[in-house]
Structure 1
């Protein structure tokens, strides 16, 4: 089968690889009908995540049709159309029983490596390094889905692939990011980054009742989509001093909550933090927490800092701001399964249209390597790439 595979920094290829096969009674094999390139895939492309191996198949946003099951009594049946959350869940460990699906204790095949890095393992994930299990991803014609009796969801009747696809990751991720802000209605939220996750965080914050949504972004196409999603104010960090502008918008009080949707590859802007970002880039090309540190400074005392942006290792964080202002930080990989039914309902009701951010579509994985570059370099107004393979 054809699949997009990692072969080193900035080296993504469309390879012919071995078709997946059933390995356990809980497995299913799906024929991928749609998949997407995620912003966090770019961290892999850029060589910023450890434990990648040449030939690893990428992709954690995918859905498709079941073509084989590991057991005749499987919950899923041949022909079922399913979406597959990016994290893999056993369904029976203490974390799964708590609904902390991204913290599953049994699905990561390389748990010992993850424990060495993080203290405890995260759940296994598709296409996202051997720290998360080394599972092949879904930018492929076929995928083996382990423990498929737990996390995957049948696509609701009448829902298109484009409506359902982002339920696998970025829509629940944006939703969880806003949910972690404990919005009751009437708050001010500032969001760094209007990429796909940021755009869904904007929409989610709007639905949850935020009165003012301030977005920090530089790319014109993303700024336009941010306004469409519900941003009330936009700050271009290359043109304006972000902290001063936020204080002006909030009459000196600061946002009630801030969301870092950028993560480890943030770029600098004006002021002292911009200088620190440049120093960090000189020292190392990875783990640049510029957006996070700016968010920590911008939020009001007693506020909430929500971090859906991906970080893969230690970073220099402004703990002085955290301690002196009494901030609450909430983060983590997304507990996708926790939100699937609610978000599917919002899509069916027309309250969320997940398709608005798709800018590039392809029917061929062979175009994948070039589209990875287009997405990374933000060429041709690229915000989101989707492959339709059926």
Structure 2
């Protein structure tokens, strides 16, 4: 089969690889009908996430048709079912899964010993996302093996198109969880840093959850326009002061809730000297991630507020003002997404027309065009916000 394969930093190729096979009685094989390039894939593309190996198949946002089912998965799946495959692989039976903490499943990471050493305790296995999270082949391919498939799936209603359903596996529940973590109240201002695909979903989630005003922060015109269309007040941080605008919008008190939808690759600009410092430290391997957004959120957030982090961080950050956060009494909530916790509610909301996640798609291409589309997405060429690939 054809698949997008990691060969090193900024080197993704469409290769012919071995077709997946059933390896366990709870497995299923799907024929991938749609997959997407995620902002998190760019962290791998740039080699910021450790433990990638040449030959690893990329992709963690995919859906398709079941073509083969292991014996113990047949109670939940059958050939011909259309399913979205969450990026988190879940056993459904461990203590964390029973609590709904699916992204920290205790059993699905087949490289548990490595994860225990790096994280202290293992987290869930993830598709297409380094050997720290299991080294599982991803879904930017013609076929995919789904481990623990009886638990790791979301069934797609017949009425729903691929484009409406695909993002149930990652960016929609990620933006939704980020907003839910904010405990939004009717008088709240929710400020969201980053208007990429996850940020766009967080904006619409905060609006659906009843925020008084949602403020979106970015510098790319197309992303800011899409954010405004979703109901957000926008701030272009290259032409405006984020601190001053947020104070104007909140009567000098700051937003009650702040969401980081950027993560480790915060944009570098001369008007924000700490971003230049971060870039230099990253180049000298003195820190792995660029945490400008975290610092700014901690500074502007209203005392007693909540900081919700859905942007991916990989390792070490520096100069985090913990004294500021502690004295302001800020609450931090973060983590990979517990996709299946939110799936039923989000499927209902799509069916009822409350949200149609397909709005974020700007580019659709063949799988073979994937390596070039990685570059288009990275460089934000041709007004690119979200790429869907069709194997």
TM-score, normalised by the number of residues in structure 2: 0.97
Structure 1: stretches of 5+ with no match in the other structure: none
Whether the 8 Å contact between 1:360 and 1:386 is mirrored in structure 2 is: yes
Contact kept, 8 Å, 2:60 with 2:138, in 1: the verdict is: yes
* Aligned ranges 1:78-227 → 2 under 5 Å: 78-227=79-228
| Number of corresponding residues | 385
Partner of 1:251: 251
**Kept in 2: contact 1:241–1:270 (CA 8 A):** no
- Corresponding residue of 2:280: 282
CA distance in 1, matches of 2:325, 2:8: 37
Q: Which residue of 1 aligns with 2:342?
A: 339
Identify the residue that residue 8 of structure 2 maps to in structure 1.
8
Partners of 1:29 and 1:69 within 8 A in 2 = yes
The answer for unaligned runs of 5 or more in structure 2 is none
Deviations 1:175-209 (A, max 9, x none): 00000000122210100000000000000000000
CA distance in 2, matches of 1:150, 1:242: 43
> What residue in structure 2 maps to residue 26 of structure 1?
26
Distance in 1 separating the partners of 2:269 and 2:250: 21
Do the aligned partners of 1:85 and 1:169 also contact (CA within 8 Å) in 2? Answer: yes
Instruction: Indicate the larger mover: 108-117 or 366-375.
Output: 108-117
Partner-residue secondary structure (3-state), 1:284 = helix
Superposed CA deviations along residues 278-307 of structure 1, whole A, max 9, x for unmatched, are 111012144001111111111000000000
Report if aligned partners of 1:86, 1:168 keep a CA contact under 8 Å in 2.
yes
Tell me, yes or no, if the aligned pair for 2:268 and 2:279 is still in contact at 8 Å.
no
TM-score of the pair, normalised by structure 1? 0.97
User: How far 1:269 sits from its partner (Å)?
Assistant: 4.3
- Please state whether the residue corresponding to 2:191 is helix, strand or coil: strand
Deviation at 1:270, TM superposition (A): 6.4
CA distance in 1 between counterparts of 2:227 and 2:168 reads 19
Q: How far did residue 2 of structure 1 move?
A: 0.3
Task: Output aligned runs, 1:223-372, within 5 Å.
Answer: 223-231=224-232, 233-269=233-269, 274-285=272-283, 286-316=288-318, 317-362=320-365, 364-372=366-374
Partner of 1:36: 36
Matched position secondary structure for 2:83: strand
Query: Over aligned residue pairs, what C-alpha RMSD do you find?
Result: 1.1
Contact 1:240 1:270 in 2 (8 A): no
Written as runs of structure 1 = structure 2, the 5 A alignment for 1:63-74 is 63-71=63-71, 73-74=74-75
The list of structure 1 runs, each at least 4 consecutive aligned residues, that deviate by more than 6 angstroms after superposition, is none
